Amino acid sequence: MSNFSKYIIYADESGDHSLSSIDPQFPVFSLSFCIFKKSDYTKFVVPMMQDLKFRFWGHDAVILHEHEIRKNKNDFSFLRQNAELRRSFMQQIDLLVRSAPFQVISCVIDKNKHIEKYGSSAWNPYEIALKMCLERLLIFLRNNCTKGKKVHVIFECRGHDEDRELELEFRRIVAGQSNWGWVQRNFSDFEWEPRFAKKSVNSSGLQLADLTARPLALRVLRPEQENRAYDAIVAKLAFNKTFP
């Protein structure tokens, strides 16, 4: 019997977590955990992703990146040349997200409200979002996975120092050493392992996580605005927290 969980989690964020310099155009921070059953991931998710890439590029070396798609940059520059082609591509992206079998746990921090409520004692938005997402992931796994299994959470590399700080905070949380929050969860039911991967590894899971983080943030920032990307995600939300 495998010692590994039958689920794999890919994480990505949108916005920065600084409280000292807040972008007035995007004063939120969003963290998204995408949960895949490994059997679904290998049988359905990866082939669906590859099929889309072969259809539009003829190869699978392209990496889907929400920012570049939105700005029609680099491998997505062809989208600005033909409105019909762009419409078709966006429909296929929408279909990919809607059809791929996965669930989402997310937390969005409104940084201005966070500072207004907690002032100089306000906790780092990334730490808050990470803890909330891990706590909900723990509940999900307790309901769906055998205890004692090793759970991998995959993050995109952001740089040596940032990755090290994130790993330390991750391990503090799962060891019950985090000082933030009213309830201290017992994470010992599972063995937790954070991993960091470069975008160049071309992970289907990381790319889908990248496609979910910003729409979740925009839903909080501008709830009245049309948000087709969020509409594709909403049915997959196992937990979606806005803080404070």
Q: Per-residue confidence at 14, pLDDT binned at 50, 70, 90?
A: very high
Q: What does the pLDDT look like over 124-180, one tens digit per residue?
A: 999 999 999 999 999 999 999 999 999 999 999 999 999 999 999 999 999 988 766
d(CA 22, CA 44): 40
Q: Per-residue confidence at 181, pLDDT binned at 50, 70, 90?
A: low
What pLDDT score does 180 carry? 65
Provide DSSP, 204-223.
Answer: HHHHHHHHHHHHHHHHHH-T
Between 229 and 2, the more confident residue is 229
d(CA 114, CA 190): 31
**Which residue has tokens 């921090």?**
109
What average pLDDT score do residues 5-29 get?
Answer: 95
Q: Over 70: is that where the pLDDT of 243 sits? A: yes
Of 1-5, 126-130, 141-145, 187-191, where does mean pLDDT reach its minimum? 1-5
**Which residue has tokens 């909900």?**
136
What average pLDDT score do residues 177-202 get?
Answer: 88
- Summary mean pLDDT of the chain: 95
What pLDDT score does 157 carry? 95
Q: Which two tokens stand for residue 224?
A: 């009245």
| Pairing of the two strands 150-156 and 191-197 | parallel
d(CA 36, CA 45): 9
Structural domains of the chain ordered from first start: 7-243 (3.30.420.10)
What pLDDT score does 120 carry? 72
- Stated pTM of the model: 0.95
φ/ψ of 173, rounded to 5, equals -65, -50
Q: What does the pLDDT look like over 38-90, one tens digit per residue?
A: 999 999 999 999 999 999 999 999 999 999 999 999 999 999 988 999 999 99
What average pLDDT score do residues 180-206 get?
Answer: 91
| Pairing of the two strands 150-156 and 237-243 | unpaired
d(CA 217, CA 228): 13
